[in-house]
Amino acid sequence: MTQKVAVLGTGKIGEALLSGMIRAGWAPADLLVTARRPERAEELRTRYGVEPVGNADAAKRADTLILAAKPQDMGRLLDELAPHITADRLVISAAAGITTASIEERLGENVPVVRVMPNTPVLVDEGMSVISAGAHASAAHLAHAEEIFGAVGKTLRVPESQQDACTALSGSGPAYFFYLVEAMTDAGILLGLPRDKAHDLIVQSAIGAAVMLRDSGEHPVKLRENVTSPAGTTISAIRELEKHGVRAALIAALEAARDRSRELASGSTG
Instruction: Provide mean pLDDT across the span 85-113.
Output: 91
Closest Cα partner for 92 from 53, 50, 63?
63
Instruction: Provide mean pLDDT across the span 148-156.
Output: 96
In tens, the pLDDT along 173-194 reads 999 999 999 999 999 999 999 9
- The beta-strand segments (E) located in the chain are 5-8, 31-34, 51-52, 64-67, 90-93, 113-117, 127-133, 153-157
155: left (phi over 0), alpha (psi -120 to 50) or beta: beta
CB 152 within 8 A of CB 122: yes
State residue 77's pLDDT score: 93
In tens, the pLDDT along 70-93 reads 888 888 999 999 999 999 999 999
State residue 252's pLDDT score: 97
Report the alpha-carbon distance of residue 234 to residue 11 in Å, rounded: 41
In tens, the pLDDT along 208-262 reads 999 999 999 999 999 999 999 999 999 999 999 999 999 999 999 999 999 988 8
Please check the confidence at residue 7 and state whether its pLDDT lies above 70: yes
What does 19-69 look like in DSSP terms, one character per residue? HHHHHHT--GGGEEEE-SSHHHHHHHHHHH-PEE--HHHHHHH-SEEEE-S
In tens, the pLDDT along 191-214 reads 999 999 999 999 999 999 999 999
Sequence-separated (6 or more) residues with CB below 8 Å from residue 171: 96, 117, 118, 119, 130, 261
Percent of the chain with pLDDT over 70: 97
CB atoms within 10 A of CB 58: 24
Please check the confidence at residue 269 and state whether its pLDDT lies above 50: no
Of the pLDDT bands very low, low, confident and very high (cuts 50, 70, 90), residue 1 is very low
State residue 44's pLDDT score: 94
Please check the confidence at residue 109 and state whether its pLDDT lies above 80: no
Sheet holding 51-52, edge to edge: 51-52, 31-34, 5-8, 64-67, 90-93, 113-117, 127-133, 153-157
Instruction: Provide mean pLDDT across the span 97-102.
Output: 90
State residue 121's pLDDT score: 95
Instruction: Provide mean pLDDT across the span 144-153.
Output: 96
Of the pLDDT bands very low, low, confident and very high (cuts 50, 70, 90), residue 267 is low
Question: Measuring CA to CA, how many Å separate 149 from each of 132, 137, 153, 155, 156?
Answer: 13, 16, 7, 7, 10
Instruction: Provide mean pLDDT across the span 42-48.
Output: 94
* Higher pLDDT, residue 97 or 92: 92
